[in-house]
Structure 1
Amino acid sequence: MARKNIPITLKSVCKLLLLNVSFIVLLTACNQSTKDQTKGSSKQKTSVEEISQDENYITCWGIGPLEFGDDPASIQEKVGKENVSMDSLFLEGDFERLITKVWKGSPKEISIVWEEVKAPFKTIKLFEVSHQNSPYKFHNGIGIGSTLKEIVALNGEEPINLYGFGWDYGGTFIDFGKGKLKGDLPCFGGVFELQTEVGDAEVQQAMGNQAITSNLPALKKYPTVLKVIRVSEKGTK
């Protein structure tokens, strides 16, 4: 059978070329769309995983894996019964109440003060961390060992109010004054330590049962660090 020759015209060549170009453009667009979707999905997954896996954050909802909505049963379920124990809280040398401690004696230790003075305990009043190697931090970096100077900087350079040093409630945080952190961290509480053995007139100004500010010369001259962090759901200290 004789093969029929089909005339090739310029018009037919152009049509073929246009079809090929359209196919290539469509294929490229599909590939790029798939890559973008995969990339976006990967970013979203990473963000969620980072938040869920980082149990060292302090927020106004709690510390680490623990939240204000927890009760003794849920705490044991989260961290393991073997990591939960009861301890005594003393104020001014006198027994005050029983509290719960999680991971007692380790850098991850968290103390829990309950609204109820005795069992059954149902409502968390505040969380506290104080281990010098505590890993817990707020999102802005404030943690155990943060200096008063660093926190004042985060407060927009507005002075911070606290109680004078050298007595039972010495160095206890009062408030952020008019600073930025007043709105950012309404749940924040804690205790600062003035690290000096000098007893000059400047230091004496920062001592005793009185409200003082971070503007005092002694607090700028000598290291003043955060040694206790307390987190209260309602911002009470």
Structure 2
Amino acid sequence: MMKKLILALIPSFFIVLTGCKNENKADAQDIEIQAVSETPFKEVTTLEEISRLANHGKLHEAFAKGDMKSELISANEGMSFLKSTTIYPGTGNEVEIDFLPNDSTRVWRVTVTNRSNKFHSKTGVTPGMTLEELNAINKIPVNFYGFQWEFAGAVDFNDGNLTNDKLFVYLKTDKEVPKEFIGDAPHSSLDEKAKELKLYVHKIIYEAATAEPL
């Protein structure tokens, strides 16, 4: 009788044991999935690093898929097209990455606008920076071009500390622009009337590569 009872219990024992193993396996899988989902993204705040990651196809290491949008955009009045990826589209921290028209794997330029954008250049230039702060980093007073044209507020570093062939900065004012500051003429940042404009950094472009004329 005892032998029959033991034999009868053996299948139940294996069922329980198998169930435990399956539960343990499921728990391990849940833990593994949770660990993957909780893997922290690489902290990236500079345009230069964003460009480097994009050139190596590794933007996913710093940004979630849902925070990026890629599309083809027209250029040269619709005669050419290029790939563009936007990080955090429609937010104050939006970053636009344009790829070369003839090579969609290589970054052409990375652009940020918006006074409160957290992304900046590794040179220390940040969106919202005042003209005085920009001059302090450059070590030499900059010049800027007038407004209401294609390159409104473009900065000339005058061979100062920030001068290089990859960094482009544009200024903006929230005040009404006097007539003398409208147009493509350059102006000194030391001009007293220029100081009254309370100019600040509105746009930063890091040009990673030179694109062929569109």
Q: 1:136–1:225: structure 2 CA closer, same or farther, 3 Å change rule?
A: same
Does residue 190 (structure 1) correspond to residue 169 (structure 2)? The answer is yes
In structure 2, C-alpha distance between the alignment counterparts of 1:78 and 1:53, rounded to whole Å: 5
Question: Which digits, 9 at most, give the CA deviation of each residue in 1:65-93, with x for residues without a partner?
Answer: x233634843345423322213565779x
Amino acid at match of 1:218: K
Q: TM-score, normalised by structure 2?
A: 0.64
Q: What corresponds to 2:146 in structure 1? A: 164
Counterpart secondary structure, 1:149 = helix
Counterpart secondary structure, 2:134 = helix
Aligned to 2:46, which of 50, 57, 60?
57
Amino acid at match of 2:160: G
Q: What corresponds to 1:68 in structure 2? A: 52
Question: Which digits, 9 at most, give the CA deviation of each residue in 1:12-50, with x for residues without a partner?
Answer: xxxxxxxxxxxxxxxxxxxxxxxxxxxxxxxxxxxxxxx
Amino acid at match of 1:192: L
Q: TM-score, normalised by structure 1?
A: 0.59
What RMSD, in angstroms, separates the aligned Cα atoms of the two structures? Answer: 3.2
In structure 2, C-alpha distance between the alignment counterparts of 1:140 and 1:73, rounded to whole Å: 24
In structure 1, C-alpha distance between the alignment counterparts of 2:68 and 2:95, rounded to whole Å: 10
Counterpart secondary structure, 1:208 = coil
In structure 1, C-alpha distance between the alignment counterparts of 2:189 and 2:81, rounded to whole Å: 32
Q: 1:78–1:56: structure 2 CA closer, same or farther, 3 Å change rule?
A: closer
Q: Is residue 165–residue 194 contact of structure 1 (8 Å, CA) maintained in 2?
A: no
In structure 1, C-alpha distance between the alignment counterparts of 2:210 and 2:104, rounded to whole Å: 20
Q: 1:88–1:116: structure 2 CA closer, same or farther, 3 Å change rule?
A: closer
Q: Is residue 104–residue 110 contact of structure 1 (8 Å, CA) maintained in 2?
A: yes
Aligned to 2:104, which of 118, 121, 128?
121
Q: What corresponds to 2:193 in structure 1? A: 218
Q: Is residue 191–residue 226 contact of structure 1 (8 Å, CA) maintained in 2?
A: yes
Q: What corresponds to 1:44 in structure 2? A: none
Q: What corresponds to 1:111 in structure 2? A: 96
Structure 1 gaps of 5+ residues are: 1-51
Structure 2 gaps of 5+ residues are: 1-40
Counterpart secondary structure, 1:169 = coil
In structure 2, C-alpha distance between the alignment counterparts of 1:179 and 1:153, rounded to whole Å: 10
In structure 1, C-alpha distance between the alignment counterparts of 2:111 and 2:69, rounded to whole Å: 15
In structure 1, C-alpha distance between the alignment counterparts of 2:43 and 2:64, rounded to whole Å: 18
Counterpart secondary structure, 2:132 = helix
CA apart distance, 1:143: 0.8
Does residue 230 (structure 1) correspond to residue 205 (structure 2)? The answer is yes
Structure with max Cα Rg: 1
